[in-house]
Amino acid sequence: MNYANHVQYRYLPLTVKGTSLSLIRYSDACKLQRPLPLAFLSAVRQRAHGASRNSLFRVNMAASMASQAVARGLRGANARHLFFDKLKCPQVSSRRWLNLQEYQSKMLMQESGVTVQRFYVADNAPDALQAAKRLNAKEIVLKAQILAGGRGKGTFDSGLKGGVHLTKDPSVVGELANQMLGYSLTTKQTPKEGVKVKTVMVAEALDITRETYFAILMDRACNGPVMVGSPQGGMDIEEVAEKTPELIFKEVIDIFEGVQDDQALRMAANLGFKGPLERQAADQIKRLYDLFLKVDATQVEVNPFGETPEGQVVCFDAKINFDDNAEFRQRTIFAMDDMSESDPAESQAAKWDLKYIGLDGNIACFVNGAGLAMATCDIIDLHGGKPANFLDLGGGVKEKQVYEAFKLLTADPKVEAILVNIFGGIVNCAIIANGITKACRELELKVPLVVRLEGTNVLEAKRILSESGLSILAANDLDDAAKKAVAAIAKK
């Protein structure tokens, strides 16, 4: 599976400057306060001095680690204060729910004329070697393609250390690919057994002289698309927002007018691009916005949006979040969705149109309506229990879905009780009751089942449950249901 045919040459081969120390320079206009990630980068640079062969590797490693630090920072943000709202800054999200590999995101970007490092994708070592040769680059970066982060520091069960490698020699690419493909890569973000690497990206390594941050997202407060950027790229954007909020720039985009020339140029200037680079960056910005609209993205985040010594503006890494609601018109993209690293229960639920999210607890939930489903998890917690999942059956609950949902919940070994909370409006409670009793009998339910039904035909439903012969605990309201579920576990 070689995607070389899909990759077009859009840029001249770049010469990589030797082992120059000052590979990353920040413009003097940047008021740097050097929070931790940045200090780390500087330290890495200084260590790289004199280590000619590996200097670029370390710098690129540091760059990718820094951008991963951004992702980590955003992911861990729940416990931290975010200062975005001080500037009325749009909220940036770190987690994608449509899983695209790095090369797939970069392919999408290339198709929109966005400048990324030239690359090929290979699923076997000879192809990787070929790709390395075809690149005809001064230096090559080989990256294992898995969804989880932390690749740089991961280890393969082949013994190879590191999921990202830099080399000037194509044959080394072939050798390394041999130790990556088909083997499991374990990183801090993968499960213990690691993730099997099926594809590798063979890309041209480029120097970065300057890193900026750029994102486009749909923002509720502005009723539409917004561009957010900072000349302080490659680091934790939250810290930038906190320490130097004047370095976060925002442009509201009119959905019908698109990005105006003056807006793109202003953002490029604010990001610190000067001279011919300003126009280049503005052009890249417009193309990123075109991509944003074309793929129905809710967010496109480029970090770093960088500058090379040869005067190119390059998107070194990007995260794209897609609007699930647009799946019907984005079939190609959604077909790329790689569920192999997802929670198998969540993949199974998606098959049956069930909105399911696994949580840590032992009381399974079965609810109609997202708000009520969240509230059910909340109330279990309020009464001292721990929800095992969020499950929204949606509006038109059918008997087949009831069955499949029960199957999913009962298959979870963590589950010690099940709480059913259905408020039937259009949904006839008697149908739900029938579905539940049938599922319980066929699946031989072994855990306590607490059922709270309300709404249309509730009396008939209650009768069905009480006459089923199954040990079902009936509850009157949500408080009662949660208390009973928690108590049922405590009894055991």
Partner 1 sequence: MSHSRLFARLLLQQNGVRNCYTASRKNLYIDKDTKVICQGFTGKQGTFHSQQAIDYGSRLVGGVSPGKGGRTHLGVPVFNSVKEAREGTGADASVIYVPPPFAGAAIIEAIDAGMPLVVCITEGIPQQDMVRVKHKLLRQSVTRLIGPNCPGVINPGECKIGIMPGHIHKKGRIGIVSRSGTLTYEAVHQTTQVGLGQSLCIGIGGDPFNGTNFIDCLEVFLQDPKTEGIILIGEIGGNAEENAADFLKEHNSGANAKPVVSFIAGLTAPPGRRMGHAGAIIAGGKGGAKEKIAALQQAGVVVSMSPAQLGSTMFKEFEKRKML
Annotated binding site: 117, 150-152, 206, 303, 317, 368, 425-427
Q: Of 172, 283, 423, 443, which one interacts with partner 1 (CB under 8 A)?
A: 423
Q: Select from 471, 67, 47, 29 the least CA-distant residue to 234.
A: 67
What lies within 8 Å, CB to CB, of 276 at 6+ separation is 311
Q: Which residues are known binding-site members for GTP?
A: 117, 150-152, 206
- Residue 116 CB, nearest approach to partner 1 (Å): 24
Which pair of structure tokens corresponds to residue 178?
């041999």
Interaction between residue 369 and partner 1 (CB under 8 A)? yes
Interaction between residue 477 and partner 1 (CB under 8 A)? yes
Instruction: Give kind and range of the element (H or E) at residue 68.
Output: helix 55-75
Nearer to partner 1, 11 or 390 (CB): 390
Q: Report whether 120 contacts 135 (CB < 8 A).
A: yes
Q: Please identify which of the residues 3, 120, 213, 356 carries the catalytic annotation.
A: 213
Interaction between residue 296 and partner 1 (CB under 8 A)? yes
Interaction between residue 357 and partner 1 (CB under 8 A)? yes
Interaction between residue 261 and partner 1 (CB under 8 A)? no
d(CA 402, CA 432): 7
What lies within 8 Å, CB to CB, of 430 at 6+ separation is 457, 460, 461, 464
d(CA 440, CA 410): 9
Nearer to partner 1, 123 or 296 (CB): 296
What lies within 8 Å, CB to CB, of 262 at 6+ separation is none
Q: Report whether 98 contacts 324 (CB < 8 A).
A: yes
Q: Report whether 323 contacts 296 (CB < 8 A).
A: yes
Q: Select from 297, 251, 294 the least CA-distant residue to 270.
A: 251
Nearer to partner 1, 369 or 448 (CB): 369
Q: Of 77, 87, 339, 470, which one interacts with partner 1 (CB under 8 A)?
A: 77
Interaction between residue 355 and partner 1 (CB under 8 A)? yes
Q: Of 19, 27, 93, 244, which one interacts with partner 1 (CB under 8 A)?
A: 93
Interaction between residue 81 and partner 1 (CB under 8 A)? yes
Distances (CA, A) of 325 to 39, 186, 298, 349: 41, 33, 11, 17
d(CA 208, CA 304): 9
- Residue 216 CB, nearest approach to partner 1 (Å): 12
Q: Report whether 468 contacts 492 (CB < 8 A).
A: no
Strand partners, 364: 418
Catalytic residue at 183?
no
Q: Of 42, 52, 223, 347, which one interacts with partner 1 (CB under 8 A)?
A: 223
Q: Of 255, 411, 459, 490, which one interacts with partner 1 (CB under 8 A)?
A: 255
d(CA 305, CA 287): 13
Strand partners, 225: 218
Calculate helix-pair angle for 344-351, 399-411, nearest 10 degrees.
170
Q: Of 19, 20, 27, 94, which one interacts with partner 1 (CB under 8 A)?
A: 94
Q: Which stretch binds partner 1 (CB under 8 A): 46-54, 122-130, 178-186, 454-462?
A: 454-462
Q: Of 225, 231, 234, 448, which one interacts with partner 1 (CB under 8 A)?
A: 225
Q: Which stretch binds partner 1 (CB under 8 A): 58-66, 115-123, 220-228, 398-406?
A: 220-228
- Residue 14 CB, nearest approach to partner 1 (Å): 34
**Binding track, positions 35-74, relative to partner 1; x by CB under 8 A:** ---------------------------------------x
Dihedral (C-alpha) 191, 192, 194, 195: value to the nearest 10 degrees? Answer: -30
Interaction between residue 392 and partner 1 (CB under 8 A)? yes
d(CA 125, CA 141): 15
Interaction between residue 347 and partner 1 (CB under 8 A)? no
Interaction between residue 464 and partner 1 (CB under 8 A)? no
- Residue 408 CB, nearest approach to partner 1 (Å): 16
Q: Please identify which of the residues 102, 301, 307, 404 carries the catalytic annotation.
A: 301
Interacting positions 310-329 with partner 1 (CB under 8 A): 323-326, 328-329
How many residues in the shown chain lie near partner 1 by CB under 8 A?
Answer: 71
Amino acid code (one letter) for 112:
S
Nearer to partner 1, 143 or 484 (CB): 484
- Residue 220 CB, nearest approach to partner 1 (Å): 5
What lies within 8 Å, CB to CB, of 368 at 6+ separation is 392, 393, 394, 395, 397, 422, 423, 424, 427
Distances (CA, A) of 364 to 109, 130, 405, 448: 41, 51, 11, 10
Interaction between residue 424 and partner 1 (CB under 8 A)? yes
- Residue 258 CB, nearest approach to partner 1 (Å): 12
Catalytic residue at 301?
yes
Q: Of 11, 40, 390, 403, which one interacts with partner 1 (CB under 8 A)?
A: 390
Q: What does the DSSP 8-state code read for residue 91?
A: P
Active site residues per annotation = 213, 301
